[in-house]
A and B are shown apart, each in its own frame.
Chain A
Amino acid sequence: MFTAGAWWLDVTSRFRCVCRTPTLCWRRSLSSKGPSGSSPPPPLHCAPPSWRQSLDFLPDELGGQNEPGFSSTGVLPCSRAVPPETKVPNDGAAGGGSDPVEERPAAPELSQDSGVSLDCSALVSAADRPLQRTPAAELSTAASPFCVMTPMTPMTPMTPVTEGSGIVPQLQNIVSTVTLGCPLDLKFIARQARNAEYNPKRFAAVIMRIREPRTTALIFSSGKMVCTGAKSEEESRLAARKYARVVQKLGFSARFLEFKIQNMVASCDVCFPIRLEGLVLTHQQFSSYEPELFPGLIYRMVKPRIVLLIFVSGKVVLTGAKERAEIYEAFENIYPILKGFRKQ
């Protein structure tokens, strides 16, 4: 049980992930209660199937407390990261017998946290179910030596048409919105809260900032809030909860309704220079390259609907995604095209 006042501090540590992929790393309980019985299932996203069982070394502090609103299957109701075909198959399942590993996050209705109050007494961990993230093809660049990248292609054996690009776009910014469910007095908030600015002549919202995760929120008098600056979906949700908590502490009956990620921005580097003139000639209907207006080529991919900014140096910025998988898919789509326009 956590102390009511500082639950978010525990959440912060909960979300620290050795693999630097906090959104996709499953979590186990932070508290002293160990994993219930069997050995915990290893982080699925990090390893090919045969290695899943050997990842017990991952430290215990990757805990996850079930927050209110989570489904009883222990799935964090955040965005589903991955389209089904990239999920690691269940064969060779992890050592945990009970294996909620097999459970996939259900349909997006789980991702809506509706009407849940931030009352900490509700923070009861249902069981020590590991919170599972959908395994996604992702490279963890940090500590774990066993984490390898898996391509977005299905794991069933196929004629290897392309191997993956081997490059994973890094998320730079997430914009999300949440409804607090009650009208707010912005002047009061601006006066009482720390790190809040409110200039009604310039903009009709309070601009509040917190340091951990480093984010900015726009809080409107209708009770709606926009949270920007987080580097991952979990951080964005956590930050939004913190802001909601601040507003709640100021005396408003704030709730945490309809959290939705509106935009995700990622960037990566293909490490070779690109001939933008060639690209705009062949992909005219998708590309727009006007050196007078902007030095990068603006590529509007149709499926998934992502906008990519492609620069001569080989840096690529992807934006417009609602889910992480869209970014990865878009990059995998563009990578062979960019390779074709490599400058010799």
Chain B
Amino acid sequence: MSEREPPSPSSAARALPSFLQTPQAVSAHTHPHSTTRFNVGTCGLDRCGLCDRVIDVGSEWRTFSNEKAQKDPSRVGDAQNPLLNGGDLTTMIGKGTGSASFDEFGNSKYQNRRTMSSSDRAMLHAFKEISTMADRINLPRNIVDRTNNLFKQVYEQKSLKGRANDAIASACLYIACRQEGVPRTFKEICAVSRISKKEIGRCFKLILKALETSVDLITTGDFMSRFCSNLGLPKQVQMAATFIARKAVELDLVPGRSPISVAAAAIYMASQASAEKKTQKEIGDIAGVADVTIRQSYRLIYPRAAELFPPDFKFDTPVDKLPQL
């Protein structure tokens, strides 16, 4: 609990508190021999005892997002978000609550509560938008974080400055989903965003070029679990549909068709062979594919339907009784 007295000759300089030391003094935090003691709030060097204070930038006490949302009594504000905000130290004056905060005309005193760094304002707005979009399709936190990081990188690069931030945010969301291995279709992102599919597609390509990254190609299996559970199909049907789609692509029965269309056709075939039959329209609604497209892809895989089913599949409708469109 006691600070070790620095025994070295330059102890006079080091006796000063850390925040008064000259900049070229050794920073205790980054020194390889430092130990951080959070209970004391110090970070000290082992050999010479030079100590520095640690400022905990976490929040003061635990707060839960859905608990007493109005009356969060945190006096130091939210947990700092250093990666994404660049150290936002502005103060915002909140809306007054008592009667003393209003002047005689009913206007609130302290009207100007909007001053914050303008460069961050657009970014914060975009983060909020990303969070809203992700919430609509129940995306996990890791995807949202990745999206925020991508957006920050794109925003700082300024190469896409003229594009609407919402479009860039939507495209970043799409890229993040892809990078996490759980791609969402463009139509799904469109559904939660106000931007058109064309614009999201354009921004997507521009962002890939700006950040010099690439994404993996989508496959039929990426969407099976989501589409099948949205349709309420049991696991066997989902596995059968996955197998059918993969086999169809391997046998090159559907050259040039979008993987989404092939997946939809495979789901249709699997569901029609099982007890839970779904119509093309239902599958088309879930997958975002037109039912004529499902029909086209289905016609391509129908001739070899027998080899496409997994060997252990229990047919409710045998292969030769599958609907022929």
A→B interface (CB under 8 Å): 273, 277, 280-281, 284-285, 288-293, 295, 311-313, 343
CB atoms of A292 and B260 under 8 A apart: yes
Which one of B214, B252, B256, B258 contacts A292 once the chains associate, using CB atoms below 8 Å? Answer: B258
5 more A-B contacts (CB under 8 A) besides A291-B258, A313-B256?
Answer: A290-B205, A292-B186, A293-B186, A293-B201, A295-B258
Contact with A along B230-253 (1 / 0, CB 8 A): 000000000000000000000010
- CB neighbors of A among B154-202 (8 A): 185-186, 201
Q: Is the CB of B255 within 8 A of A273?
A: yes
Q: With contacts A293-B186, A293-B201 known, is A312 near B217, CB below 8 A? A: no
Q: Can you name the residue of chain A whose Cβ is closest to the Cβ of B209?
A: A288
Q: Which residues of A contact B205 (CB under 8 A)?
A: 288, 290
**Contact, CB under 8 Å: A292 / B185:** yes
Instruction: Determine if B259 and A312 form an interchain contact, defined as CB atoms under 8 angstroms apart.
Output: no
B178 to chain A, nearest CB (A): 10
Answer yes or no: B218 CB below 8 A from chain A CBs. yes
**Could you tell me the distance between the alpha carbons of A312 and B258 in the complex, rounded to whole angstroms?**
12
A288 to B257, CA, bound (A): 16
> B201–A291 contact, CB under 8 A?
no
Q: How many A-B residue pairs have CB under 8 A?
A: 35
Of all chain A residues, the one with the shortest Cβ separation from B262 is A291
A312-B214 contact in complex given A292-B185, A293-B186, C-beta closer than 8 Å: no
Name B198's closest neighbour in chain A (CB-CB). A293
* CA gap between A165 and B208 in the complex, in Å: 33
Q: Is B256 a contact partner of A277 (Cβ separation < 8 A)?
A: no
Establish whether residues B260 and A312, one from each chain, have CB atoms under 8 Å apart when the complex forms. no
5 contacts between A and B (CB under 8 A): A285-B214, A288-B208, A290-B201, A291-B259, A312-B255
**Judging by beta carbons under 8 Å apart, are B218 and A292 in contact?**
yes
Q: How far is the CA of A273 from the CA of B253 in the complex (A)?
A: 13
Select from chain B the residue with minimum beta-carbon distance to A273: B255
* Inter-chain contacts of A280 with B (CB < 8 A): 217
Question: Which residues of chain B are within 8 angstroms of A285 by Cβ–Cβ distance?
Answer: 214
Tell whether, in the assembled complex, residue B256 and residue A289 are in contact, meaning their CB atoms are under 8 Å apart: no
Query: B252 contacts A289, CB within 8 Å?
Result: no
Q: Mark B78-90, 1 if CB is under 8 A from A, else 0.
A: 0000000000000
Residues of A contacting B201 with CB < 8 Å?
290, 292-293
Closest CB-CB distance, A337 to chain B, in whole Å?
A: 18
- Assess A284 versus B214: contact at CB under 8 Å? Given A292-B185, A293-B186: yes
Select from chain B the residue with minimum beta-carbon distance to A290.
Answer: B201
* Docked pose: A98 CA to B257 CA in angstroms: 60
Taken together as a complex, chains A and B put the C-alpha atoms of A83 and B24 apart, in Å, by 62
Query: By the criterion CB–CB under 8 Å, are B256 and A312 in contact?
Result: yes
Closest CB in chain B relative to A281 CB, distance in Å: 8
Closest chain A CB from B167 CB (angstroms): 15
Contact between A311 and B256, CB atoms less than 8 A apart: yes
Write the nearest CB–CB distance from B223 to chain A, whole angstroms.
11
**Which A residue's beta carbon lies closest to that of B259?**
A291
Q: A292-B186, A292-B260 are in contact. Are A277 and B255 (CB under 8 A)?
A: no
Kindly list chain A residues whose C-beta atoms are within 8 Å of the C-beta of B208.
288
Picked from A290, A293, A295, the residue with its CB within 8 Å of the CB of B256 is A295
Q: Which of B206-224 contact A (CB under 8 A)?
A: 208, 214, 217-218
Residues of B contacting A313 in the complex (Cβ-Cβ under 8 angstroms): 255-256
Q: Which residues of A contact B186 (CB under 8 A)?
A: 292-293
Residue with the highest number of chain A CB atoms closer than 10 Å, among B252, B255, B258:
B255
B residues within 8 A CB of A277? Answer: 217
B252 contact from A293, A295, A343, Cβ within 8 A: A343
**Which A residues are CB-close (under 8 A) to B259?**
291
A291 touches B252 (CB 8 A): no
B142 to chain A, nearest CB (A): 23
Chain B nearest CB, measured from A310 CB (Å):
11
Choose among A280, A291, A311, A313 the residue with the greatest number of B CB atoms under 10 Å from its CB.
A291
Say yes or no: B218 contacts A291, CB within 8 Å: yes
Taking CB atoms, residues of chain B closer than 8 Å to A289 are: 217
CA distance A334 to B259 in the complex (A): 26
CB closest chain-B residue, reference A311: B256
The residues of A that contact B256 with a CB separation of less than 8 Å are: 295, 311-313
| Minimum-distance CB pairs A-B, first 10 | A312-B256, A291-B258, A293-B201, A312-B255, A284-B214, A292-B186, A295-B256, A277-B217, A292-B258, A291-B259
Question: Cα distance A293–B205 when bound, in Å?
Answer: 10
